[in-house]
Chain A
Amino acid sequence: MDKKILLVDDEEDIRDVLDISLSDLGYKVFTAKNGEEAFQIFRNVNPPIVLTDIRMPIMDGIELLQKIKKENTDTEVIMFTGHGDMDLAIKSLKYEATDFITKPINDEILGFALERAHERISMRQRIREYTENLEEMVREKSARLVEVERLIAVGQVIEGLSSATRNIVEDFEGGITYFNELPCLVSIHNRDLKVVATNQLYKERLGDKIGCNSWDAYKEGAGRSAKCPVGKTFHTGKGQRSKETIQDVNGREVPVIVHTAPIRSGESDVELVLEISADITEMNRLQEELRTTQQRYQQLFDEVPCYISVQDGKLRLVATNRQFKEDFGDEIGSYCYNVYKHRNEPCPDCPVVKTFESGKSQQSETVVTSKTGEQYNVLTWTAPIRKADGEVTQVMEMSTNITQIRRLQDHLSSLGLLIGSISHGIKGIMTGLDGGMYWLDTGIEKGNQERIEKGWDVIKLMVDRLKNMVLNLLYYAKERDLNWERTDVLSLAKDVASTVEPKIKGYSIEFIHDFDRSIGKFEVDTSVVSSALINILENAMDACIEDKSKKSHKIIFSVTQDKDHIVFDIHDNGMGMDRETRENIFTLFFSSKGSKGTGLGLFVSNKIIQEHGGSIRADSTPGQGSHFNIRLPKVLPDILKSKVNKKAQSLTIE
């Protein structure tokens, strides 16, 4: 494995730290402090993996990414992004960055990303080997095809041969030996319709017939007379072709195709006749073989798990296989870029064009759009098809659909993140539990009531976190439909408040509720919306607990309404969030709580609110506090209801 790696960051410290990490992982590390410097190094050493920061002076990471991809599309480029750089991260993915890692860079996550990059490299290698083997297979098959066709041609060759032999057989005694090598029964006859010479095979199959009648070899019938092919040839002076049946030395009947050719001694008279009989059973066998080979070839062409097309110099489709027709339609004669990419002009860096130009195979990875509008990631390989003089007349393009593999990879990487963040969260909770038990133990030992209480509170907090983490995970893991009903807003709000109130007051945080008493009912899945509200209230509580700057804290929970919506507001005067945090709180696996958060809570809450057709918004000032605003429709949109009803119906039918 090529362990070269290029590391690009404008901060010297970060380069130092990562250089050490990467060297420990066995990489030969090249470093650069901006895109320009990096691209120079890239051209010299061509590393398979590049790690680059996005924000850099002179040439930034996005520009570097584009340049590298243009130079060598196989390069795995991993981007570093800040939490606030989501747009840049998405932009870099658009330019085919392999992955991105958020700063600060965690060694473990970097390790995962590198592993994934290596998996991609080796996968690409494997697919390439596979397509190359396929090429080999196609080559072998076509070689055999040519071979069989050659054999078939023998029949025709004989026909031409018989006329060409006239000159050779001037001296028939010597000439006949030429025919000993032929896989046909060759004989020469005189005007008296007697056999005068035969080749070796004739002797072996039919016995020594020299001096016999020309028709003796044939089975009983009309042919066994002066009207036999040889007789006809003398009579008409022209070569004959007919199907006859002959009898071999063992009395077995053999169907043959008989060709005859007159051999003239002088100007006009036919002096001798050359008769060549080819065994039809052998011909039939050869023809059958050709047919099955052709069929197999077609089958291979159709059944390989690739899209195969043959294109002419104008990039028009000349032939396509079944897979291609299935996903892109039967578009013979259309332009490749039109069918594959729905474009009106050739794509830049087209591998087929390059193959026409260079006569060499090309490989590339791209995204194509099927006739139904689905996007597929494909790995493309091209091969030139040449005329005998070497000119490339057509190009065969094979594209392997690797969309599934890509999807699986994305899924696996989010799963990896999930597991990483959970194990991290659990370690944090376990440390907290250790702390709680320590205070409890030493409190009891010293008879210190305050410590006992502190220990007990921490243990309760940690158990709660553990519970929430497990509940969130269960929610994340399973798809569920809304289980809605018309519910009294006030009673839902009171239930939520009474769930969190003891905990909040336990931390000496003031808890104020302000409910509109005339608010009525709304359509809602009570259990999930309650848990979302509880989650946000508990976040508010955590923000207050962790804020050391103020003496007293309070949380205000209010419920109001406008025309179509029920509006929940949760204010706290806790530690607040900076902009970066605020913009990312609803992102999966984002957590501002260091070792304590799973990055699932608000992601799940947001998902719940959105499933109701509602919205959730967060404002905050660092050090001042936060405000969450949740709006839920009073009446659920029909589309959300019908989904549930359909399910209910299908259940009743069952």
Chain B
Amino acid sequence: MQGIASILINMHIIPKLKERCVMAKKILVMDDDPTTVDYLVDLFNDNGYETCFAYNAAEGFEALKNEKPDLITLDLDMPKVAGPLFYIRYTKIQEFKDIPVIVISGLHVPHRSIKKVVAALEKPIDREELLAIVRNTIGEGSSD
């Protein structure tokens, strides 16, 4: 049995199987502009990530609970509860506090209260730059 396993490893079959077994990483896209959400969702899907999205903070909390995302892209300028406040609130919750966040916003400077931000991108965003940051943070998307 061991022999077969080693053969499989040598043929790079097991790592691939492993990769397949691990669920694709999921990104929560938060923005109040539907076009932007649509765009980012397609972009991430095309690159092998699963996605969920939210147009406001209330939907954002729902998505955190139900979808358990691995990464959040957050617009800072959403109505009702602004981005920074959403961040402050969800990082107070033990279960979610370590989810990395990428700020994508029309504002020049990310809010300093968002301490553990992975990166802050200003709109309009550089697509390749965004994908590179996502890859560095949660790894490659799955190949299919």
Contacts and interface: CB of A to CB of B under 8 A. Distances in A.
Are A and B genuine complex partners? yes
B6 interface: no
B108 to A, nearest CB: 7
B113 A16 contact: yes
Contacts of A249: none
Interface string B74-96: 01011111101100110000000
A435 B80 CA distance: 25
Interface in B30-62: 31-36, 38-39, 42-43, 46
B39 A594 contact: no
Kindly name the residue among B31, B46, B75, B113 whose own CB sees the greatest number of chain A CB atoms within 10 A.
Answer: B113
B33 A432 contact: yes
Interface in A420-437: 423-424, 427-428, 430-435
A629 interface: no
Interface size of A as a range: 35 or more
B82 A104 contact: yes
Nearest to A545: B34
Interface string B120-144: 0011110100000000000000000
Given A431-B39, A435-B39, A424 B77 contact: yes
Given A17-B88, A20-B112, A431 B78 contact: no
Contacts of B36: 428, 431-432, 435, 595
A259 B33 CA distance: 99
Contacts of B32: 594-595
B113 A431 contact: no
Contacts of B81: 104
B16 interface: no
B126 to A, nearest CB: 9
B106 interface: yes
B109 interface: yes
Interface in A554-613: 592-596
B92 to A, nearest CB: 9
SS class, residues of chain A in contact with chain B? helix
A107 B111 contact: yes
Contacts of A106: 77, 82, 107
Nearest to A108: B107
Interface residues of B, number: 34
Given A17-B88, A21-B112, A438 B123 contact: no
Nearest to A446: B46
A108 B111 CA distance: 10
A377 B106 CA distance: 37
B88 A594 contact: no
A458 B77 CA distance: 22
A75 B51 CA distance: 50
Contacts of A63: none
A297 B66 CA distance: 81
Contacts of A461: 35
A300 to B, nearest CB: 49
Given A16-B113, A107-B109, A546-B34, A433 B79 contact: no
A17 B46 contact: no
Given A14-B85, A427-B106, A594-B77, A458 B112 contact: no
Given A17-B113, A595-B77, A430 B85 contact: no
Contacts of A439: 39, 42
Interface in A460-485: 461-462
A24 interface: yes
Interface in B1-51: 31-36, 38-39, 42-43, 46
Contacts of B124: 427, 430-431, 433-434
Given A435-B38, A435-B39, A428 B123 contact: yes
B123 A595 contact: yes
Interface string A96-122: 000000001111100000000000000
Interface string A4-30: 000000000110110011001000000
B56 to A, nearest CB: 10
A491 interface: no
Given A17-B113, A442-B46, A427 B123 contact: yes
B88 A16 contact: yes
Contacts of A434: 39, 124-125, 127
Contacts of B35: 431-432, 435, 458, 461-462, 596
Contacts of A428: 33, 36, 106, 123
Nearest to A105: B82
B88 A438 contact: no
Interface in B93-111: 106-109, 111
Contacts of B85: 13-14, 17, 104
A539 to B, nearest CB: 15
A431 B107 contact: no
Contacts of B77: 106, 424, 594-595
A513 to B, nearest CB: 27
A594 B34 CA distance: 10
A449 B35 CA distance: 19
Nearest to A24: B112
Contacts of B122: 427
A545 B125 CA distance: 24
Nearest to B78: A594
A594 B79 CA distance: 7
Given A21-B111, A104-B85, A424 B106 contact: yes
Interface in A110-158: none
Contacts of B108: 108
Contacts of B84: 17, 107
Contacts of A17: 84-85, 88, 111, 113
Contact of A438 (B39, B82, B109): B39
Contacts of B125: 431, 434
A423 B123 CA distance: 11
Interface in A396-431: 423-424, 427-428, 430-431
A435 B109 CA distance: 23
A496 B108 CA distance: 39
Nearest to A546: B34
10 contacts: A13-B89, A17-B113, A21-B113, A108-B108, A431-B123, A432-B33, A434-B125, A435-B39, A438-B39, A596-B33
The 3 closest A-B pairs by CB, nearest first: A435-B39, A104-B82, A594-B32
Interface of A: 13-14, 16-17, 20-21, 24, 104-108, 423-424, 427-428, 430-435, 438-439, 442, 458, 461-462, 545-546, 592-596
Given A16-B113, A108-B107, 20 more contacts: A13-B89, A17-B113, A20-B112, A21-B112, A104-B81, A105-B82, A106-B107, A107-B111, A427-B106, A427-B122, A427-B123, A427-B124, A428-B33, A428-B106, A431-B35, A433-B124, A435-B39, A595-B32, A595-B33, A596-B35
